[in-house]
Amino acid sequence: MSSLGATVMLSAAVTAATLVLSVIAGLLLARREFAFKRTLLALLTFPLAFPGVVVGFMVIMLAGRQGLIGALSLKLTGDRWVFAYSMSGLFLGYLYFSIPRVIVTVMASATKLDASLEEAARSLGASPWRITRDVVLPALSPGLIAAGAVCFATAMGAFGTAFTLATDIDVLPMTIYTEFTLNANMITAAGLSIVLGIVTWAVLALARSVSGSAVAASA
Amino acid sequence: MSAVVEHDAGENGKQDFSMNSITVSSEAAAGKKPRSRLRLPDSRAWLAAGQWLVTLLLCAFLIVPVVMSILAGLTVNYFKGISSGFTLRWLGEVWTQYHGSVFLSLEVAAATLFITLLTGVPAGYVLARSKTRLSRVIEEFLVLPIALPGLASALALLVVYGGFTMFRMSVAFIVVGHVVFTLPFMVRAVAAVCASSDLRTLEEGAASLGASFMQRFVTIVLPNARPGIVAGALAVLTLSIGEFNLTWMLHTPDTKTLPVGLADTYASLRIEIGSAYTILFFIMTMPLLVAMQWLGVDATGQRSAAKKRGAASATKSITTP
């Protein structure tokens, strides 16, 4: 049961972080024209087809024992930061997994925005921050709810990343897996996966009824 | 900014209908402008810079590990760094050990694609056409495996079919798992296209000219649904090649697909071999990804957002009158 709580917390955190970062980047990409925009976009969406295992390996590359962050921190602080095999590594992995997906959604709904609304707000003296809060975000919200739900559901069920990084990570998919393979405890495993399925399905259904559009996850 | 101010001035002028007030108001606007120039561009420039920073950092976050793993797969000794020189040795080693998994993955993907084409295309067509409640329920059930974590589907498959040892041991078991997982993507892609193009009218026209159902399906439905079929097929191939969650539970030592082999090497072998294997995976999926980018398919198995919206509005316009 504790793993369920941890999984939900982790998924919620990943969803929030992904949404914030992707909205910032997605708005920039959708609104502006600049050189290399296509290249940048291609780079950002390139990891879309990575399975969870590969994402896990990417995290190891970044924050593992021979990773980039470790090498950098060793030079800067004299300390080698290795956090790939912990909850924060998993957080990084899910972020890696979700960001491309959510950026695509944000860009799709940002191109639908009515620019005249923002101009009106600006001519009435609203600050950029207020425009973002009162005009842009409400207009984006259906897309964001849908994307957030997908993000949450995917993070709940993602097994490959956890499997690659797992040494002492206690998330629901890993619990199911160990119950099934090591303890051969079919009933617990089945029960937990039903719980997992219900939670993800409920989140997706809720988002669909709120945003009114087709919501679907992919893992 | 200045366009907005001028527009303001114009409106003021319209209200008063006098030349004088226009000049006055535009002067007032001009007087106001420098002040706002001092304040606004400042914060806006900061915001834009921050936005750029976040975007570029995200890009680095996503791409740097990819580059690192490619480098690691090609260096002689990653622990010592790139200075130890480049080699293709690791790639060769991976190929001799794991080329079986590459071919198996391709075979499984091809078989999965074949089955999803055979079943998913008609299903998508029928679901897009029929408006009954039953078809909505069926659609919900068909799409359920997407929402369900792969682990849960795998457990379900094991519980139901695990007893049939012959089947359990064969590659067919993995293909079945992949079909369960990828079929919804094909169905949705096809259904979206079928709903957007005005198939019913075309078909009625053909039927009135005496075309049989098979004739209509082959000469009208399939060509019209082709973009959706292609999009769905690409999504199915990519997902099947990369699928791990289900496959890990379903595989036997004889039926290792590429991602399963990847997990093996990550867990047990040195980082260079894992990286070299990852390079192999990149090489395999790259053509698919390029094709998807080129056709504007997003990896969730639907066509690009613009098309999707078009499809949505089209269905609306068909159903509302």
Residues B11-65 pLDDT 10s: 444 444 444 444 444 444 444 444 444 455 567 777 778 888 888 888 888 888 8
Give the one of A53, A62, A96 whose C-beta lies nearest to B266's C-beta. Answer: A53
Give the chain A residue nearest B155 (alpha carbons). Answer: A190
- How many angstroms away from the CA of B174 is the closest CA of chain A? 16
Give the chain B residue nearest A156 (alpha carbons). Answer: B149
Q: How much is the pLDDT for A28?
A: 81
**Portion of chain A with pLDDT greater than 90, in percent:** 0
Q: Does B224 touch chain A (CB under 8 A)?
A: no
Task: Please say whether the beta carbons of B86 and B76 come within 8 A.
Answer: yes
Delineate the domains of chain B, giving CATH numbers in brackets. Answer: 1-32 (no CATH), 43-87 (no CATH), 89-307 (1.10.3720.10)
pLDDT digits (tens, 9 = 90+) for A57-108: 888 877 777 777 777 777 777 676 677 677 777 888 888 888 888 888 888 7
> Residues 4 to 23 of B: which have CB under 8 A from any A CB?
4-5, 7-8
Q: Please, what is the average pLDDT of chain B?
A: 72
Q: How many CB pairs under 8 A join A and B?
A: 205
Q: How much is the pLDDT for A214?
A: 47
B248 neighbourhood in chain A, CB within 8 Å? 159-160, 163
User: Do the Cβ atoms of B58 and A159 come within 8 Å?
Assistant: no
Q: Which of A27, A47, A62, A42 is nearest to A99 (CA)?
A: A47
Average pLDDT score over residue span A111-117: 79
Q: How much is the pLDDT for B41?
A: 58
CA B312, CA B306: separation in Å to the nearest integer? Answer: 10
Q: Does B264 touch chain A (CB under 8 A)?
A: no
Residue B297 or B105, more confident: B105
> Residues 118 to 137 of B: which have CB under 8 A from any A CB?
none
- How many angstroms away from the CA of B211 is the closest CA of chain A? 35
pLDDT digits (tens, 9 = 90+) for A137-190: 888 887 888 888 888 888 887 777 777 776 666 777 777 777 777 767 777 777
Confidence class of residue B85 from pLDDT cuts 50, 70 and 90? Answer: low
Confidence class of residue B7 from pLDDT cuts 50, 70 and 90? Answer: very low
User: Do the Cβ atoms of A196 and B281 come within 8 Å?
Assistant: no
Q: Does B285 touch chain A (CB under 8 A)?
A: yes
CA B33, CA A17: separation in Å to the nearest integer? Answer: 38
CA A19, CA A88: separation in Å to the nearest integer? Answer: 18
Give the ranges where A49-136 is alpha helix by DSSP (H).
52-63, 68-77, 87-110, 115-123, 128-131
